[in-house]
């Protein structure tokens, strides 16, 4: 919806869930990740962190924020044992879309199990190969 129609508390909720939570969780896990011989952070972000979409200003801002956070985190941790990547997927067929009340087909959307396979594949690659950014599209 247009920015002027979004309630301030909704803005805070979207930013809190989609961006601030990523930052806090990562901060809490960082000591554990750094103590491991090998570790990875793979942020599943959404194509909304790459492609602007009309009527999604706050959601897009949160996802672009996670993309920036992921990119800086990758730079900050480049000389450590922690590898960082972002996964940018098109629509994923979850129950989230039924909550919107909108009527549209999710038939082409990515199955969550397929998205999990992509993440598992990234982690199974040899250590000398890393995919810092993956786009999953339908």
Task: Kindly tell me the burial class for residue 108, based on how many C-beta atoms sit within 10 Å of its own C-beta (0-12, 13-18, 19 or more).
Answer: exposed
Which neighbouring-strand residues pair with 40?
83
Distance of alpha carbon 70 from the chain centroid: 9
**59 part of the active site:** yes
- Catalytic residue chosen out of the listed positions 59, 64, 121, 138: 59
CA Rg value for the chain: 16
- CB-based contacts of 21, cutoff 8 Å, min separation 6: none
- CB-based contacts of 78, cutoff 8 Å, min separation 6: none
Which neighbouring-strand residues pair with 43?
86
- CB-based contacts of 104, cutoff 8 Å, min separation 6: 97
Active site residues: 59
């Amino acid at each position: 919806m247009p920015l002027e129609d979004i309630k301030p508390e909704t803005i805070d909720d979207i930013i809190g869930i989609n961006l601030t939570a990523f930052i806090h969780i990562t901060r809490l896990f960082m000591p554990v990740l750094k103590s491991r011989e090998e570790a990875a952070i793979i942020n599943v972000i959404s194509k909304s962190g790459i492609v602007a979409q009309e009527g999604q200003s706050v959601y897009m801002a949160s996802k672009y924020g996670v993309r920036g956070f992921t990119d800086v985190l990758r730079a900050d941790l480049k000389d450590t044992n922690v590898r960082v990547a972002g996964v940018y997927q098109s629509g994923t067929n979850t129950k989230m879309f039924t909550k919107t009340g909108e009527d549209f087909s999710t038939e082409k959307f990515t199955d969550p199990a397929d998205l999990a396979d992509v993440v598992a594949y990234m982690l199974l690659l040899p250590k000398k190969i890393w995919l810092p950014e993956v786009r999953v599209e339908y």
